Amino acid sequence: MTNFKSKADLIWRIAELLRGDYKQSDYGKVILPLTVLRRLDCILKPTKQKVMEKYPVVKGMSEAAMDVALNKVAGYNFHNHSRFDFDSLIADPENIGLNLKNYVNGFSASAREIIEYFNFDDQIDRMDDPQADILFQVVKSFQEVDLANMDSMEMGYVFEDLIRRFSEQSNETAGEHFTPREVIRLMVNLLFVDDREILTQKGIVKTMYDPACGTGGMLSVADQYVNELNPDADLKLFGQEINPESYAICKSDMLIKSENPENVKFGNTFLVDGLENEKFDYMLSNPPFGVEWKKAQKVIKAEYENKGMSGRFGAGLPRINDGSFLFLQHMISKMKPTGTRIGIVFNGSPLFSGAADSGESNIRKWIIENDWLEAIIALPDQLFYNTGIATYIWIITNKKEERRRGKVQLINATGAKDEELIKDGKLEVNRFWQKMDR
């Protein structure tokens, strides 16, 4: 396997060219889209000439039809029909800004949309401005990085390593968009712990969904877990994200790993369910703590009043300043009748807030009476960036083992020893999980 860490280090060093012109927290706005562009440039190179020859023949078609035709020639579900690539871009330093924009515009719609959500045109103008004048240097540095001889999984590791570094570096985004890998690994283990035998079956296909997927970290760790367990398994990933840059990063990661980026939808999950009527085998999420749902209040209340239990929010509406239970109800509405497992991270509010007959109380009652709550794990504090508040993993399922029916397991993993175990990735909570009284 290629040393993905060395590739990530090489790209990370390019960010030094931005010093002085960009805040460190903004480096990712340049480096991540350029990493995507360079990867696509490298893998499209063998068929680039054939695509350019085919383009005049099909350019009169609708964009959708043209994309289908040229994607077929390119051999991927994307292509670039411009006359530029990274080699020709650096051959014309004087017109680097204009040519780079033309290059981006030459991509098929699915790939172009990802770059547009990065607002990359603004970064091109900023770097090409005479006061900065760093665009050529940055593009040339990327042209010198060969990203061709890596398979999709290896390239995914590179991209996710960069995402992690930029997320940790940016205090303003880390808490909102980035869930620590050790927490995700714990959630993934708890989600799959009783399904390992199923997941090792030859040709098994399962689905995974995150309604607040951020940059896609939870989906990626789940995918890695299943791939390591059974390389022949196919875990299809789905998600929705409201933040444009996080959405672009997540779709980029999907594209780079040869997943289907169309499975990731943009927008407010409460306002528009981008994957309406879809049901999933597994779901994971770390929705923002204490996010208010005032902007979506009209739509949510209308669905609650008009659809009741046939809608997503029939069990009740929580306080306006905390939408945590709305995310969970949305996920429960997507459980398969044949069985689904859900892992979600909450602060203490969903556990303790709300008096009797309040929205929160009614939602908890609904979950307990349906015997969906399998376990709650109390995590050590300081695991999440920028917050020392208490956090909990809830495991929800409509396919409990016989020994777990009518019971809820509570695991206290808040001690110093537990914190080290979780941070080391040893996931000893699973030991307690399997020792539950029968």
Contact of 347 with 289, CB cutoff 8 Å: yes
Residue 429, pLDDT score: 53
Tell me the CA distances in angstroms from 132 to 17, 83, 194, 277, 362, one per residue in order.
10, 27, 55, 49, 57
* 3-class DSSP state of 383: coil
Mean pLDDT of the chain: 89
The CATH code of domain 171-434 reads: 3.40.50.150
The token pair at 170 is 């940016």
Residue 15 carries which side chain, given as an amino acid letter?
A: A
Closest CA to 393 of 193, 191, 237: 191
Given pLDDT bands bounded at 50, 70 and 90, which one contains residue 173? Answer: very low
DSSP letter, residue 35: H
Place of tokens 């997941």: 199
Q: What percent of the chain has pLDDT over 90?
A: 69
CA distances to 4, 208, 225, 301, 430 from 228, rounded to whole Å, are 17, 16, 5, 43, 18
Of the chain, the percentage scoring pLDDT greater than 70 comes to 91
pLDDT at position 152 is: 79
Residue spans of the domains in the chain: they are 4-156, 171-434
Whole-number pLDDT of residue 290: 80
- Please name which of 296, 295, 325 lies closest in space to residue 313, comparing C-alpha atoms: 325
Assess whether pLDDT exceeds 90 at residue 375.
Answer: yes
Residue closest to 216 by CA, chosen among 236, 239, 192: 239
Instruction: Please tell me which residue, 259 or 237, carries the higher pLDDT value.
Output: 237
Q: pLDDT value at position 424?
A: 53
What is the reported pLDDT for 1?
Answer: 47
For the cut 70, the answer to whether the pLDDT of residue 259 exceeds it is: yes
Task: Compute CA distances 314 → 300, 333, 344, 433, whole Å.
Answer: 10, 10, 20, 31
Nearest to 268 by CA among 289, 288, 290: 288
Mean pLDDT of the 352-377 span: 93
Angle between helices 28-44 and 244-256 (to 10 degrees): 30
| pLDDT digits 0-9 by tens, 66-97 | 999 999 999 998 999 999 999 999 999 999 99
What are 218's two structure tokens?
């939870």
